[in-house]
């Protein structure tokens, strides 16, 4: 006996749904690309720096002691600048250094700065020295001061 359906020529049996074991990675890749774009946008592209050569730590006390002809600038933790034990305000530092180094053949200066000073403050002193005609600037480390018997700044 044939079944007759009203309004349909063929009766189609629905298939049972089957599960898909493949992982759809398209949304995962989309999220990764968005994260990469965010990190690249947050990356500061105009980083500036200053390449410096710090002196090697030496145990020689003879090297740490300055002779009478050397110019030693000390920058203390309370922001006092002295050049060979004479206090100088930061505003007149370049002028004073220019007067000191104008007559000198050896244009070398040593800077002994307190450990808690920011690099920018030391860079200001180095810039003033370069502006005054100093060609070589040496940095005196804490170990050099201790080896020479000097007190901490």
Which pLDDT belongs to residue 10? 66
d(CA 116, CA 127): 19
Q: What is the pLDDT of residue 150?
A: 65
Q: What is the pLDDT of residue 29?
A: 94
Domain boundaries of the chain, sorted by first residue: 71-148
Q: What is the pLDDT of residue 63?
A: 44
pLDDT reported for residue 70 = 86
In the prediction, which pLDDT does 56 show? 66
Pairing status of strand 108-113 against strand 136-139: parallel
Strands (E), 84-147: 86-88, 108-113, 136-139
pLDDT at position 3 is 61
Instruction: Report how far apart, in Å, the C-alpha atoms of 79 and of each of 46, 121, 129 are.
Output: 30, 9, 17
Q: What is the mean pLDDT of each run of 10 residues along the chain (153 residues)?
A: 61 72 87 93 71 62 53 89 90 90 88 86 90 89 73 62
CATH of domain 71-148: 3.30.420.270
CA nearest neighbour of 143 among 118, 123, 115: 115
């Amino acid at each position: 006996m044939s079944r007759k359906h009203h309004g349909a020529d063929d009766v189609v049996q629905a298939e049972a749904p089957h599960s898909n074991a493949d992982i759809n990675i398209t949304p995962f890749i989309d999220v990764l690309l968005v994260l990469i774009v965010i990190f690249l946008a947050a990356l500061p592209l105009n980083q500036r720096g200053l390449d410096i050569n710090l002196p090697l730590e030496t145990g020689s006390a003879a090297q740490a002691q300055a002779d009478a002809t050397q110019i030693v600038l000390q920058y203390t933790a309370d922001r006092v600048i002295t050049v060979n034990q004479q206090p100088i305000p930061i505003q007149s530092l370049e002028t004073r250094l220019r007067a000191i180094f104008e007559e000198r053949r050896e244009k070398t200066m040593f800077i002994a700065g307190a450990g808690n000073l920011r690099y920018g403050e030391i860079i200001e002193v180095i810039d003033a020295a370069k502006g005054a005609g100093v060609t070589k600037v040496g940095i005196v480390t804490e170990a050099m001061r201790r080896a020479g018997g000097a007190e901490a700044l």
